[in-house]
Amino acid sequence: MTPTSGIIKIAGRAYREDKNNAKQLIGYLSGNSKRYGRLSPREILEIFGRLYERKL
C-alpha cells in the first residue's frame, strides 16, 4: 500500500525517515519471519524479556 498523504510519527520521529528505529520502538516483527521457527508467543516474549531484562 502506497501512502497518498499524511505523516506517521512514532516517538516524535517521522516513520518514513527512521523506519528501523520506529520498528524497534513498537516491537515490530514481520509475519513472514522464519527466525523463530516453531516457538510459541510466550517463548518469544521470554527471549525478548531476557534481552531487555524484563520479567513476564
Domain coordinates of the chain in residue numbers?
Answer: 9-51
CB atoms within 10 A of CB 44: 13
CA 17 distance to own-chain centroid: 16
List pLDDT tens digits, range 1-56: 787 899 988 888 888 888 888 888 887 666 666 777 788 889 988 888 888 887 77
**Which grid coordinates are listed for 26?**
513498537
Tell me the DSSP string of 10-34: ETTEEGGG-HHHHHHHHT---TT--
Could you tell me the end-to-end alpha-carbon distance of the chain, in angstroms, rounded to an integer? Answer: 35
Q: Which pLDDT belongs to residue 29? A: 66
| Whether pTM exceeds 0.75 | no
